[in-house]
Structure 1
Amino acid sequence: MKTRILGRTGLSVSEIAFGGVEIGMPYGLGAHEMPDEASAIQLLQKAVESGINFFDTARHYGESERLMGLAFQDIRDRVILATKCVHFKDEEGNIPAYPELKAIVRESLEESLKNLKTDYVDVFMVHYADMDILQNEDVARVFSEIQGEGHVKNIGVSVYKVEETAKAIQSGIWDAIQLPFNLMDQSHGDCFQYADEKGVGIIVRSVLMRGMLTERKFKMHKALKEVENHLEAYRAVAEVHFDNFPAYATKFALKHPQVSSVLVGIDKEEYLHASIRNLEGNALSNELFKESQQMKYPDPSFLNLAEWDRKGWL
């Protein structure tokens, strides 16, 4: 397993990061059988044995933090842990004033440290930083102060929109950004060079678009016909040049030198081994890389799976 440096953090992270949501709670498209506690712990430890050293979790990921704590309590020095704070906006969507905000964030961190059985986390992130959060001086102040107290080595944000990524980089505050990026939706790629210049580490999620960029074919609503056509075009490329579709999708993301690690949701040993195998063989040629960039979906804002779900398209 190769490693890359996560921006100015200096952390050497594995190219594949273990996405911890699926061991902690039901997630993704279709039926999802949760691993039991013993199986989850064994899976996490096998990931370390296989060369993965970067693990992503969050307070909102059910049992994920607790399971990682149990798995890594004796090998903490071999893993890099990223977790996310609880959502702190109130029911009206307002951000609390500084004293309350700091209390919420501090309590969330303390709970994470307890669950993870550690006295520090390598990356502590805002769990979905929208523009309100990114423009809020109290949020920046709270996370910067907590970083200076020793239990948080680096701070970061998880975002959805390109303008959020650009704002987070421009602020100069955040050390790392977790963002969605894949063959279909390449919009955040416009910010990669800017992030590199500012020393901000890039962690990519949704590289398989919740399973759509795999051999698994979903029965798609008629409103998604154009999406289905795009998926099939990429699938045809994968069949010619790669062992499987996920290998194509993963290698495309990692072809970008500014990307430090690609998050993959893993809840079974077979998925662990498959994710590692996806790195084997040759990388994308420059020609195929450019072709893949040109094939991107023309309207990335339409690729909103949560919205599709609300409309009954999934």
Structure 2
Amino acid sequence: MNSSLYTLGTAQLGMPYGVANKLGKPDIKQAFNLLDKAVALGIRSFDTATAYGNSEEILGDYFYQNQGIEHEIITKIKPLILDSQTPEDVAIQEVNESVQVSLERLKIESIPVLLFHRYDNLIWENCCLLDYLNKLSYIKKIGVSVYTPEQAVTAIGLDGISAIQLPTNLLDMRFIKARVFDLAEKKDIRIYIRSVYLQGLILMNIEEIPSYLKVAEPFIRRLRELSDYYNLSLQEFTVSFLKAIPGDNQIVIGCEAPEQVTENARLIKSVSQMNREIREKLFEKMGDIPDYVINPSLWKVNI
């Protein structure tokens, strides 16, 4: 398949998603209109998961009704609760059930890219689930969604991994600093970069930031000052930054409306990659951002 302009994140199609989401979950007509716009703009890669509400079903129905459109689906195994007491055959059965559900919902016979939604499921019992999946002819590429550079480095070192999804944005540069992208490029592993706007937090007006995220305000202000200095919007600053990352990467961007799909496509096409001077200034000014700012799972912990 020819390279997609970018990968459309579809969590927003299956459930209300993102701290900056104002429109909620679209109805089926709105979802199809958004997908129509994406396809018209040259987007052929779509990220989903069994955990994203009915996102898989929406994609399955859309492409079943629009057969002949070449596309790539990235989906994820449902998060599994496994421990040392779980029999291996039970774990394999749960993986199989998740895969079969995805195939049925997506109305496809093979999955182009299948990710473990949880890193600990990947490494459980010496990666026996990874070994099992690699024997299935209808799974084309296998990977994992990770949250830390340490997880990414371990995954890159495993045989049978060909895709990794990870967060990277103007506030979260951990994976760049840990040289994860360089390691992946050497092993011909594709990286899908998610959370590029940190669930929309990076683009929010200061007065709209919810009370539990006020700790992020000084960092957002610092980013705005830097992007203003270079006469770039935060969207342009983000895309320019991501384009400068080496390797076979796909930017994953979720959208709530067709207008956002169009704007993101325009940015991907028109914004040039960040030069070394601006990149160095960005690293210098932003420094190390605390985990409670860049990790959404910690955002409401102290409420």
The question of a shared fold, defined as TM-score above 0.5 by the shorter chain, is answered with yes
Query: Do structure 1's residue 211 and structure 2's residue 200 form an aligned pair?
Result: yes
Report the number of matched residues.
296
Task: Classify the secondary structure of the residue corresponding to 2:157.
Answer: helix
- Cα distance change of structure 1 residues 293 and 258 upon mapping to structure 2, 3 Å threshold: farther
1:251 paired residue number: 240
Query: Do structure 1's residue 156 and structure 2's residue 147 form an aligned pair?
Result: no
Bigger Cα displacement from structure 2, 215-224 vs 161-170:
215-224
- Whether the aligned pair in 2 keeps the contact of 1:128 and 1:159 (CA below 8 Å) is yes
2:112 paired residue number: 122
The amino acid that maps onto 1:54 is S
- Aligned partner of 1:96 among 83, 86, 89: 86
Distance 2:212 2:255 in 1: 30
How far 1:296 sits from its partner (Å)?
Answer: 3.3
Encode CA deviations 1:156-178: one digit per residue, 9 max, x unaligned. 10011111001000113210000
- Aligned partner of 2:159 among 163, 172, 184: 172
- Cα distance change of structure 1 residues 172 and 12 upon mapping to structure 2, 3 Å threshold: farther
Distance 1:53 1:143 in 2: 24
The amino acid that maps onto 1:79 is H
- Whether the aligned pair in 2 keeps the contact of 1:134 and 1:167 (CA below 8 Å) is no
Distance 2:48 2:87 in 1: 26
How far 1:203 sits from its partner (Å)?
Answer: 0.7
- Whether the aligned pair in 1 keeps the contact of 2:133 and 2:139 (CA below 8 Å) is no
Encode CA deviations 1:19-49: one digit per residue, 9 max, x unaligned. 0101101111154421101110221122011
For structure 1, the residue ranges without an aligned partner over 5 or more in a row are 1-10
Distance 2:76 2:94 in 1: 13
Task: Kindly report the root-mean-square deviation, in angstroms, between the aligned alpha carbons of the 2 structures.
Answer: 2.3
Q: Percent identity?
A: 26
- Cα distance change of structure 1 residues 131 and 39 upon mapping to structure 2, 3 Å threshold: closer
- Whether the aligned pair in 2 keeps the contact of 1:134 and 1:164 (CA below 8 Å) is no
1:5 paired residue number: none
- Aligned partner of 1:144 among 134, 153, 165: 134
2:291 paired residue number: 301
Bigger Cα displacement from structure 2, 229-238 vs 41-50:
229-238
Task: Classify the secondary structure of the residue corresponding to 1:155.
Answer: strand
The amino acid that maps onto 1:60 is A
- Whether the aligned pair in 2 keeps the contact of 1:29 and 1:211 (CA below 8 Å) is yes
4+ residue runs over 6 A deviation:
none
Query: Do structure 1's residue 192 and structure 2's residue 194 form an aligned pair?
Result: no
Query: Do structure 1's residue 85 and structure 2's residue 77 form an aligned pair?
Result: yes
The amino acid that maps onto 2:67 is I
- Cα distance change of structure 1 residues 259 and 216 upon mapping to structure 2, 3 Å threshold: farther
- Whether the aligned pair in 1 keeps the contact of 2:244 and 2:275 (CA below 8 Å) is no
Distance 1:154 1:76 in 2: 22
- Cα distance change of structure 1 residues 36 and 253 upon mapping to structure 2, 3 Å threshold: same
Distance 1:14 1:240 in 2: 32
For structure 2, the residue ranges without an aligned partner over 5 or more in a row are none
How far 1:259 sits from its partner (Å)?
Answer: 5.0
TM-score, with length taken from structure 1: 0.86
Distance 1:194 1:12 in 2: 24
